[in-house]
Amino acid sequence: MTKFRSLLLLSFYSCLGLLSAQEGPSITGKFLVFPKTSDQTPISLIAGEGAFEEINPTSGRFTKPIKMIGMKEWVVGKPGVDAEGKPTFEVWGRCASSGAKHQSIILFRKGETNADGFSMLAFDDNESGFGKGKFLVFNVTNKDVGAQIGDKRFQIKPAGKAIVEAKGDIDKGLCSSTFAVKLDGEWKGIFSSNWPLSDNARALIFVYGDAKTKKYTVHAVRDFIN
């Protein structure tokens, strides 16, 4: 086991001791992980004192909403038992809760396996203004991002986000999209595609650095809503 992972291998009870005092009213959370990988090792979430839950997220769509105890921090990883038979929890990722009653929680892989860890982001699933037919774009890089979706051009600062309501520029139900990052003072294109516009879905767009390819790219997910 590497020194880094050894530091993250916590006593499960001590970990729960840190989190139990932060429990609040129940909330719902839905999870997404990317990039896609062949690693099928279960991912567990600390879900309260003496409890954890397998969340089993995928890259293509959010999990169904999971009812959880509200926490100030979300922690995912792998429960286990040490040489003395005591419960442990190997931490793979953590992030601050958004504090909202309904949250979306994103796991960004740091490597090819779950044990390589995750960067994480939690946000309000009922983000103000983010309704049907709209795009919520997150810049999860330390670079400026420039983009065009349909008839809308915009820029996002590092760690920023933007809600975009675009009109189809190909036809009424289809829009083009292009993304670029600013590297050494110059814009470099990283992604282009055509995306459908829908009256019963919204889209979450993440601009991020892929740990495996070492390149900037875009991940898009359609989120169907009532």
Span 49-81, pLDDT tens digits: 768 889 989 888 899 999 988 889 999 999 988
Is the per-residue pLDDT at 153 higher than 80? yes
- What domains are defined for the chain? 3-124 (2.60.40), 135-224 (no CATH)
Position 171 confidence tier, pLDDT thresholds 50, 70, 90: confident
Is the per-residue pLDDT at 20 higher than 50? no
Q: Residue 199 to residues 166, 177, 196, 219: CA-CA distances in angstroms?
A: 13, 19, 10, 21
Which residues, in sequence order, are CB contacts of 4 under 8 Å at separation 6+? none
- Mean pLDDT, range 156-173, rounded to an integer: 90
Residue 126 pLDDT: 81
Strand 9-11 and strand 51-54: the pairing is unpaired
**Phi, psi dihedral angles at 5 (to 5 degrees):** -70, -30
- Mean pLDDT, range 87-112, rounded to an integer: 92
Query: Which of 1-5, 31-35, 134-138, 151-155 bottoms out in mean pLDDT, i.e. has the lowest?
Result: 1-5
In terms of average pLDDT, the best of 87-91, 111-115, 179-183 is: 179-183
- Mean pLDDT, range 128-153, rounded to an integer: 91
pTM over 0.85: no
Across-strand partners of 108? 34, 119
- CA dist 198 and 133 (Å) reads 5
